Amino acid sequence: MKKQIESLNFEEFHKMPSLEEQTKCTGSCNNCGVPFCQAGMMIAGMASGCPLHNLIPETNQLVAQGNYDQAYKRLSGTHSFPEFTCRVCPALCEHACTGGLHGTPIPTKENEMAIIEYAYENGLVEEKEPAVRTGKKVAVIGSGPSGLATAQLLNRRGHSVTVFERSDRVGGLLRYGIPNMKLDKRVIDRRIELMEKAGVEFKTSVNVGVDVKAKDLLKEYDRIVLCCGASNPRDLNAPGRDAKGIYFAVDFLKEVTAKLIDNDYDSDAIMSAKDFTFGDLTGKNVIVVGGGDTGNDCVGTSIRLGAASVTQLEMMPEPPKERLESNPWPEWPKVLKVDYGQKEAIAAYGHDPRIYKTTVKEFVKDKKGQLKSVIIVSLESKKDEKTGRMNMVPVEGSEKELPCDLLLIAAGFLGSESTITSDFVVECNARTNVSTADGKYETSVPRVFTAGDMHRGQSLVVWAIAEGRGAARAVDESLMGYTNL
């Protein structure tokens, strides 16, 4: 039985700490010997510390002193959009914090929010029109975090930048892949407004590769930067896949967010809406396949739309609650994470929605072709004798049937879409990410660069911003012979 959760809505759930609280709990950062938090290096195949190499101890020291003006100047020297990462980043900096080795890490993510919101409130955040233009034109394809970071720096340098976005609004997955309660879309809008005033041109509802061809863009622009993301969703191939009531998570989340924006952020109107493509979820059973951030977002959104039950299927085993000896600090902690969606599910249904080591074996339809249930099967890890790799394989006889009115596939992404890569004829690797030399951003096609998930595969917003800044430097050097970005 679903319980009523008080004040559940689509408003942002992040609470701003007081400046006094921030000052009090940040002072011990000054005692750090080696700031792993800002290293942004790979350890055991996982990122440890901030990929942007934010000067975290210096910034935190300024926060401890109550000097938020200087803290913003320090932070903005390495970071394009603190207002995004302080809301959606899993805080790689905090997980690498020396203070977290034997105690509580410094709340760097909260500090970042306090700094950037203070800066906006006090008119410190600016995007100025360059005093001199270089005469060079750059097209950025995609307006997600990597595309926005690329456009921001290249415009500041004096190049004329046009950003193409195939959706009706700017923001990419920031806009339509992350629910409003996690990242209020008005936070995106205020930054876009500043960038437009500074001279960045945004063209929405333009599907490059279809509406506009690569050959025409290459004639008009001096450089092209592909920042289209890893937007090709992984599907579930099982009998009954053609049933009505099966949606990709990103399509589900996009429709809800679009309707929320169209209704002027009226949560009540959205939670009572009956005209979604996927139908009215009131009293319905929802199953989410996938255990990452997107799956968690689907859980939280389904609860808000009135689902009677939400079940989340994860292929992998349940992580340990504490670090194992084989996963020492400062490696990224491979431990159980209970995010907001799962917490809300526990409050609403009385239990964690996740079922581990499980996948869908079959979709069951009614006579009208509508999904009515799924057959799930347990998985176990077995070694492939040919390849030597460990794979999750079905356990014979473990099948169970679960009622299901809506199934959301949040199983990750397979890489970039062929519409763009084929039109630009850029080389891709085995994972369909656009290939470049190691540490570089120029593709196999001269004058065409790439950044973000399209370059490195599905990743975090903070990595996308770091990629966009790196690509901007590469493009600037290509155009000018040197770069001061």
- When pLDDT is averaged across residues 460-477 and rounded to a whole number, the result is 98
Task: Give CA separation, 479 vs 436, 471, 474, in Å.
Answer: 18, 12, 9
Residue 203 lies in a domain: yes
Task: Give CA separation, 311 vs 341, 413, 435, in Å.
Answer: 11, 21, 38
Residues 373 and 442 in one domain: no
Residue 25 lies in a domain: yes
How far is residue 293's CA from residue 262's CA, in Å, rounded to a whole number?
25
Residues 286 and 314 in one domain: yes
Residues 143 and 31 in one domain: no
Residues 262 and 398 in one domain: yes
Residues 90 and 35 in one domain: yes
Q: Is the pLDDT of residue 23 over 90?
A: no
pLDDT at residue 32, rounded to an integer:
84
Residues β-bridged to residue 442: 449
Cα maximum dimension of the chain: 71
Domain final residue pick, 409, 441, 471: 409
Task: Give CA separation, 477 vs 228, 442, 457, 467, 473, in Å.
Answer: 22, 11, 25, 15, 6
Q: Is the pLDDT of residue 1 over 60?
A: no
Residues 329 and 470 in one domain: no
- When pLDDT is averaged across residues 169-175 and rounded to a whole number, the result is 97
Residues 146 and 295 in one domain: no
Residues 312 and 349 in one domain: yes
- When pLDDT is averaged across residues 2-8 and rounded to a whole number, the result is 69
CA 412 to chain centre: 11
Q: Is the pLDDT of residue 6 over 90?
A: no
Residue 132 lies in a domain: no
Digit-coded pLDDT (tens) for 302-353:
999 999 999 999 999 999 999 999 999 999 999 999 999 999 999 999 999 9
- When pLDDT is averaged across residues 350-379 and rounded to a whole number, the result is 97
Domain final residue pick, 409, 438, 464: 409
Residue 41 lies in a domain: yes
Residues 261 and 341 in one domain: yes
pLDDT at residue 14, rounded to an integer:
80
CATH number at residue 307: 3.50.50.60
pLDDT at residue 269, rounded to an integer:
93
- Which of 41-50, 113-122, 383-392, 407-416 is the least confident region? 383-392
Residues 187 and 320 in one domain: no
- When pLDDT is averaged across residues 203-226 and rounded to a whole number, the result is 97
Domain count, the chain: 3
How far is residue 410's CA from residue 250's CA, in Å, rounded to a whole number?
8
User: For residue 110, what are the domain limits?
Assistant: 19-121
Token pair of 466, please?
A: 């770091």
Residue 121 backbone phi and psi in degrees, to 5: -65, -25
What integer best gives the mean pLDDT of the chain?
94
pLDDT at residue 405, rounded to an integer:
98
pLDDT at residue 4, rounded to an integer:
64
Digit-coded pLDDT (tens) for 228-267:
999 889 999 999 999 999 999 999 999 999 999 999 999 9
pLDDT at residue 11, rounded to an integer:
94
- Which of 98-102, 139-143, 195-199, 441-445 is the least confident region? 98-102
> In b/e form, how buried is each residue of 298-321, taking b as 16+ CB within 10 angstroms?
bbbbbbbbebbbbbbbbeeeebee
Angle ∠(257,263,265) on CA atoms, nearest 5: 65
Residues 389 and 347 in one domain: yes
Residues 405 and 436 in one domain: no
Digit-coded pLDDT (tens) for 262-288:
999 999 999 988 899 999 999 999 999
Digit-coded pLDDT (tens) for 107-131:
999 999 999 999 999 999 999 999 9
Residue 148 lies in a domain: yes
Token pair of 171, please?
A: 């923001």
How far is residue 408's CA from residue 273's CA, in Å, rounded to a whole number?
19
Domain final residue pick, 92, 121, 150: 121
